[in-house]
Amino acid sequence: MEKIRQQICSGGMVFAFVEGTFVTVLREGHWVLLDEVNLAPPEILGRLIGVLEGVRGSLCLAERGDVMGIPRHSNFRLFACMNPATDAGKRDLPFSFRSRFTEYAVDDDLCDDDLEIFARRFLGGRGSDSKLVGNIVSFYKEAKRLSEECLQYGAKRSLYRALEYAIIAEGIGGFQKALYDGFSMFFLSLLDASSAKIMNPIILQRISRESSRGQPLQRYLGELKGSSDEFVGKYVKTKSVIEHLDHLAHAIFIKKYPVLLQGPTSSGKTSLVKYLAAISGNKFVRINNHEQTDLQEYLGSYMTDSSGKLIFHEGALVKAVRDGHWIVLDELNLAPSDVLEALNRLLDDNRELFVPELQKTISAHPNFMLFATQNPPALYGGRKILSRAFRNRFVEIHVDEIPEDELSEILTEKCLIAKSYATKMVEVMKDLQRDRQSSKAFAGKHKYITPRDLFRWADRFRTYEGKSNEELAREGYYLLAERLRDDTEKLSC
């Protein structure tokens, strides 16, 4: 007991109720917007009903022991917005809550006149070019039609960002090349190879015939710094890797938009960011997500120091935002919904992170960049489908599988094994993936054999100084077959 008194006198272990933003707004008479209100838990919505009971509404803070409610200020105004419940993760609001609002439905259809005004606003002096404006409107309508039929992205925010990017990047290689860059980044880079073949000719035909792809990375990343990092020294830049690096460099140029890389496992998504961070002199931070990821891993938590005082230790995301690091949120579509929604404010153009424990809003450092990776949810178990509203906040880049010829090249250069061995290993992977339809052991293309397994296999073979095909086969069997339980499955391997 005496020790507790001493801690209290010294300022340690003293808890106080801190009013949240909503209570402050209610008391002082400000306007508040509840964004994505249909993502709020039912218990939160239930507590707000009392505030919505007209001008005499109030909120009672039972957590603090209050018995009287806090009356709403006469100037207090509450607004809310939501995406339709048809989107992934969104739900309908309870009628008892929704009926207290005056509702406005905001349609996403714009007429040609509105689209022309929208385009002229960004083009400034070039807005007088009726042909250019008409081509942009025509392209947008065609892209929107394709997105509804076979392509997956939100065309409206893509148009805004494409035009914004073109204006900012004009000084790199001219306006026409900047136009191509902007529309390629927000309408093309997110598509797989088959869909890109549909979209690229439309961009070249209606927007710009001048492509700036293939220009040196330093034009978009600034001065590149030499790195003695072992990872950079061993990084193998094949043809497809260079293309992905080029797309990523364009996305990083403005240092404003978060980037989402989607592709199959072991396709090198995280490595692309790590490499660019190393050669551009930015610190690389990584958070691995899983179903039990806690928001504290992102933001931090209170911990006691040696004297018993509670000290807030900032999480990896807070440090990255404050100090301007590059952070990768791996396997983002494995993270719980509360973690995803906590990122919304940071993903907006104002780039702010609110830390509830500190009741502070942290503005992002100019050099801060946020990247995320995910496997396609339809092909990998446990992955959730991110809502269109959430995904639309990112610049999306699709990363295809590593081509077979490049995979053997990477194995040879990175793992330091003979080209003949690397070729045989890739052939084994092809055979095992081909067997996936006839064996439950290899159900799914990447169930038990991925490029990552090939790297492990090659490292084992090199480490144990293998010198024959028999030794190569033995190391592959130990790595792949021994994880199987059924002897018949082992024989197929």
Q: Give pLDDT, residue 7.
A: 58
**Percent of the residues in the chain that have a pLDDT greater than 90, as a whole number:** 18
**Beta-sheet pairing, 300-304 with 310-314:** antiparallel
User: What pLDDT band is residue 371 in, cutting at 50, 70 and 90?
Assistant: very high
Residue-level pLDDT at 444: 45
Q: Are residues 260 and 382 in the same domain?
A: yes
Domain that holds residue 37: 13-98
Beta bridge partners of 257: none
**Confidence category of residue 442, pLDDT binned at 50, 70, 90:** very low
Residue that finishes a domain, picked among 172, 206, 240? 206
CA distance 398 to 406: 18
**CA proximity to 459, closest of 411, 420, 427, 426:** 411
Residue, of 373 and 256, whose pLDDT is higher: 373
Is 356 part of any domain?
Answer: yes
pLDDT at 284: 94
Instruction: Provide the domain count of the chain.
Output: 4
- How many residues are given for the chain? 493
Question: Coil, strand or helix: which one is 85?
Answer: coil
Higher-confidence position of 328 and 169: 328
DSSP conformational letter for 265: T
In a shared domain, residues 359 and 259: yes
Q: How far is CA 121 from CA 125, 127, 207, 265, in A?
A: 9, 7, 17, 42
Q: Which pLDDT band holds residue 191 (cuts at 50, 70, 90)?
A: confident
238 and 181 co-located in one domain: no
Crossing angle, helix 175-187 and helix 193-206, to 10 degrees? 150
In this prediction, residue 231 carries a pLDDT of 83
Query: Which domain-ending residue is among 398, 416, 435?
Result: 398
**Which residue, 179, 206, 233, sits at the end of a domain?**
206
Q: Please tell me whether residues 393 and 410 are part of one structural domain.
A: no
Query: What is the arithmetic mean of pLDDT over 8-15?
Result: 58
Report yes or no on 476 lying in a domain. Answer: yes
DSSP 32: E
- Determine the straight-line distance between the first and last CA of the chain, rounded to whole angstroms: 66
What is the pTM (predicted TM-score) of this model?
A: 0.81
- The least confident of 62-71, 435-444, 458-467, 476-485 is 435-444
What is the pLDDT at residue 154? 47
Q: For the residues 11-35, what does the mean pLDDT come to?
A: 83
Average pLDDT for 110-117: 86
Residue 8 lies in a domain: no
382 and 296 share one domain: yes
pLDDT for 487 equals 61
* Domain co-membership, 385 together with 455: no
Residue among 453, 457, 493 nearest 476 (CA): 457
Cα→Cα distances 317→250, 331, 353, Å: 24, 15, 9
User: How confident is the model over 30-50, as a mean pLDDT?
Assistant: 89
Q: Is the dihedral of CA 57, 62, 63, 69 positive or negative?
A: positive
Same domain, yes or no: 295 and 309: yes
In a domain, 354, yes or no: yes
pLDDT value at residue 11? 56
Q: What percent of the chain has pLDDT over 70?
A: 85
Task: Please state the φ and ψ torsions of residue 314, each to the nearest 5 degrees.
Answer: -65, 140
Beta bridge partners of 301: 313
Between 383 and 350, the more confident residue is: 350
Q: Please check whether residue 262 lies inside any domain of the structure.
A: yes
Res 419 pLDDT > 50: yes
Q: At what angle do helices 112-123 and 155-168 cross, to 10 degrees?
A: 20
Residues 289, 222, single domain; the answer is: yes
Are 381 and 413 contained in the same domain?
no
Average pLDDT, the chain: 82
Residue 159's nearest CA partner among 121, 198, 124, 211 is 121
